[in-house]
A and B are shown apart, each in its own frame.
Chain A
Amino acid sequence: MSGMDTAAIADFFDDELAPMVRRMADRPRTGEDSAESEAREIRKMVWQGLIGLDALDASDTAELAELLGSVLYQGPLLDTITARELLPDNDIGEAPVALAVTDEPWSVQDDRITARRAFVGFAAEVDHFLVGGVDGGGLRLALVSAGHPSITMRRYEDTGRGEAYGVEFAGTPVTTCAGSSAEWEGALAKARVRQAAYLVGLAQAALDHAVDHAKTRRQFGQPIGKFQALAFRLSELSMHIDATRLLVRDRDAAAHAAANLAAASDLARTVTTQTMQIHGAAGMLTDNDAQLYYRRAAVEAVRLGTPSQLRRESSQTR
């Protein structure tokens, strides 16, 4: 890796861009179609900005992921980094890739894939899918071109209101085979380290939002942050974030990837739930970011396995 550091990307997400990034893949329930195409334009611009800053070659991808979480970035960047790790020799260049890997069956005949994959992110905006599935030979991976007419997709209506799709591959030709089951395990561990870091960044941003509110919102004649019940709760969350960040940043994080991700998942859901409570009903309003953190945490916390699956996996492999 070329060793691009993330400082330039942190600068990129400045006070003007960050609020747009947070909402660039959030479809308001009462939204208009024009807002959607505008959001797509912003996503395109952010992607180009990140590519221009060599985000795909970041030397510390966990640090990058934490930064992305802190602005609630949504897009194919983390999936693309994982795909590039699995396909070091393949010329996917800087094209966006979506992961569509599960340990569910698929059928591969004459180098054509038939499978259905749920909760694929940004399926409508990527150039390739990295599809995975299980058959007689165990788990295998294949790269396919996203533009092929055999692929159909449907965007979900869900809590996240984002860009999650169910994707159907009906005899989609394989561009290239990519990696064995063991290679996937390794790539998945790294992806989970990044996902955990993303959740730490998300949790920190949600906490910052809650702390700001506690400093300014007055009830009973004082800022609510002066009440120790709230102040101590915020301190406690801050310390939990600190601890989880160290776990995720530790040099053997990949060896504990599943357990760490479960911890980060719990952290993000706890912090965002408390952020809602501290904001009161105002936090529920569509234009308040508290509810956005809460919904994004629900989605991101189970993207690469539920906490119970992750803990089970961790206890079985250690």
Chain B
Amino acid sequence: MMPTFTPEQEEFREEVCELLCEDAVRDEIAQARRAPFGQEPGLLDVHRRLGKLGRLATNWPERYGGAGRTIVDKAILTEEMIRHGVPENVHSLGIDIVGNAIHLFGTEEQKERFLPGLARGEITANVLFSEPDVGSDLASLTTRAEPDGENWRLYGRKIYNMKAQHSDFALCAARTSTGPVNFSGITLFLVPLKSIGMIIEPVWNLSEERFDLVTLDGIRVGAEDVLGEVGDGWQVLNDVLPLERTGLDHSAKAERTLTALREHAPPGCEERLAELETRVRAARLLAWRCITDLHEGRPDKVHSATAKWYTSETAKALSVAAVELLGPRALLDARDPEAIAEGLFDASLREAPGLTLAQGSSEIMLFFVAGAKLGLPS
């Protein structure tokens, strides 16, 4: 449910909003949205500004570049960044997924090596999980890590990841041993992306952001680059992935589409808008329930699966509904001089299919809830 925000949290939200509403920040965001296709930006000045103020990974300790605030403050930041249209994938990959995984499972050396740079908005990271034939069934991944003295060499291909071209390193899942059980023998590595033995190629797709095909051609990593225990990657994946799934990013996106839709919808759409508005409110409540769970130290996998499913399906429904209600003009791209809402509806329509696939598809969420919540036999 919705937490009651303290005056300090409200003040934090106001400060963040103030910064995000500055002309220079708004210009930078608008420019990023109109960037020629294929030239999407990586980290922006706004990330670096927030980073310098200790707000980007605000829930991390000060020694790691944060401000020692709570996960609630971090969620407020995420929500406002998306509401204000800051492209969020660089941020969510670097801070919320990779950074958090290091924060939770990394050695002190790894934390010192990576977290301050991530928190200041100076470096960023992405994930290398999916492979050309491995998506939802992640346990069947085939990228392998071969021992090389004290070190490891990685071989394999990773696809459907984003921002590899802008990232300094990646969290990569690879197989360190094979056995009768698929999910044993998977290890997570922190892999430098800008080095020999890493080939990054663009894979063009429907959305505004390219996928990357990353070929690991024997890149060497050391024992100090293993995140968690060797062979224990699956457990980390199972603890990390749910953290991605508060659904707050999707609920904030849905809200943003709804706000623009309200502004542009012709008369006669009131009932449909009311229905969508209710759905968006419910999505936000589910997301914030997960934040509260995390804040109180009792993360709940059923809650997070519910939130991921509901919020991503809602964000997708909003994108599809916008075209239904607004007609062809909703389809104009940000680069068209007649675009409405700065091309938001077109961009979100093209982003929508990915929302219910990435970070655990809707089907995986449904499967999990059927078993874990309803107790149905699988």
Contacts and interface: CB of A to CB of B under 8 A. Distances in A.
Interface stretch (A55-63, A203-211, A237-245, A297-305): A297-305
B204 A158 contact: no
A281 to B, nearest CB: 4
B366 A281 contact: no
B206 A302 contact: no
Contact of A281 (B37, B320, B357): B357
B251 interface: no
B298 interface: no
A313 B227 CA distance: 61
A225 interface: no
B333 A219 contact: no
A159 interface: yes
A219 B206 contact: no
Interface residues of A, number: 42
Nearest to A233: B363
B316 A273 contact: yes
Contacts of A276: 353
B38 A30 contact: yes
Contacts of B211: 281, 284-285
A273 B350 CA distance: 11
B133 to A, nearest CB: 8
B336 interface: yes
Interface in B112-141: 130, 135-137, 140
Contacts of A223: none
B9 interface: no
A276 B329 CA distance: 23
A307 interface: yes
A291 interface: yes
26 contacts: A29-B38, A30-B204, A118-B329, A119-B328, A156-B338, A159-B331, A159-B333, A159-B349, A164-B328, A227-B363, A229-B366, A269-B324, A273-B320, A276-B353, A277-B356, A281-B135, A281-B358, A286-B204, A286-B206, A299-B328, A299-B331, A302-B324, A305-B327, A308-B324, A309-B268, A312-B268
Contacts of B159: 281
User: Which 10 A-B pairs give the minimum distances between C-beta atoms?
Assistant: A276-B353, A157-B336, A157-B333, A291-B206, A159-B331, A281-B160, A219-B137, A284-B205, A29-B37, A286-B204
A229 B211 CA distance: 28
Contacts of A298: 323, 331, 349
B332 interface: yes
Interface of A: 28-30, 118-119, 156-160, 164, 166, 219-220, 227, 229-230, 265, 269, 273, 276-277, 280-281, 283-286, 291, 294-295, 298-299, 301-303, 305-309, 312
Contacts of B206: 284-286, 291, 294-295
Contacts of A220: 136-137, 140
Contacts, number: 121
Interface of B: 37-38, 130, 135-137, 140, 159-160, 203-207, 211, 268-269, 272, 316, 320, 323-329, 331-333, 335-336, 338-339, 346, 349-350, 352-354, 356-358, 361-363, 366-367
B369 to A, nearest CB: 12
B331 A158 contact: yes
B329 A308 contact: no
A158 B333 contact: yes
Contacts of A227: 363
Contacts of B269: 308
Nearest to B367: A229
B354 to A, nearest CB: 6
Contact of B135 (A29, A159, A219, A294): A219
A286 B350 CA distance: 12
Contacts of A303: 328
A56 B361 CA distance: 45
B274 to A, nearest CB: 14
